[in-house]
């Protein structure tokens, strides 16, 4: 065995007379370990992952919905909360339908659950409920006496509550 007979990629094992055998390091082949093995030739990356051949192995670049050394582990599609704040995401482990949403109204959907309507059921009692994005509770109550409240119109107003009346003049030209 002469130095570097196995090209620094293997170990020389002396044989009978002047013969030798090279025991190649992982990733190299050939009688003198001079050929790099392309580990990507066996297509190790599943689910349309892209294989990158490295000196001592390979690396799979997976599509966004896959993880793992070989792109065989589905990512948890529920991690990003696709069903919205009111829905519950159920993972299915199926490629075509990775999750579905259980919504508070009892419906199942593959899309985000609809935001609940703050006026259902009617929180205003005998008044008329109107959805608004300007208030924390999401609605106002228009009461029959002309006032606007943030609570049920049939609840008596306390000293600390408030209501207001307003009128609008429309000028036609």
- In this structure, the answer to whether residues 90 and 123 fall within a common structural domain is no
Coil vs helix vs strand at 91: strand
User: Contact at 8 Å (CB) between 56 and 43?
Assistant: no
Whether the full predicted model's pTM is greater than 0.75, yes or no, is no
Mark 81-95 as b/e (b = at least 16 C-beta within 10 Å).
ebbeeebebeeeeee
| Per-residue model confidence (pLDDT) at position 171 | 52
| Per-residue model confidence (pLDDT) at position 157 | 59
80 pLDDT tier (thresholds 50, 70, 90):
confident
Number of domains the chain contains: 4
- In this structure, the answer to whether residues 58 and 46 fall within a common structural domain is yes
| Per-residue model confidence (pLDDT) at position 166 | 45
Q: Which residue has 């066996």 as its token pair?
A: 42
Can you give the residue range of the structural domain that contains 53? 41-73
162 pLDDT tier (thresholds 50, 70, 90):
low
């Amino acid at each position: 065995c002469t130095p570097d007979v196995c090209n620094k990629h293997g170990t020389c094992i002396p044989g009978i007379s002047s013969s030798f055998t090279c025991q190649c390091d992982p990733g190299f082949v050939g009688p003198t370990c001079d050929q790099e093995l392309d580990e990507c030739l066996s297509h190790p990356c599943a689910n349309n992952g892209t294989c990158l051949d490295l000196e001592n192995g390979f690396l799979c670049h997976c599509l966004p919905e896959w993880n793992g050394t070989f792109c065989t582990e589905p990512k948890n599609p529920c991690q990003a909360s696709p069903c919205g704040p009111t829905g519950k995401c159920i993972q299915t482990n199926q490629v075509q339908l990775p999750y579905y949403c259980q919504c508070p109204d009892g419906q199942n959907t593959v899309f985000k659950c609809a935001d609940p309507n703050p006026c259902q059921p009617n929180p205003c009692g005998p008044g008329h409920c109107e959805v608004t994005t300007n208030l924390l509770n999401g609605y106002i109550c228009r009461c029959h006496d002309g006032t606007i409240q943030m609570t049920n119109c049939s609840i008596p107003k306390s000293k600390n509550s408030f209501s207001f009346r307003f009128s609008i003049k429309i000028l036609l030209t």
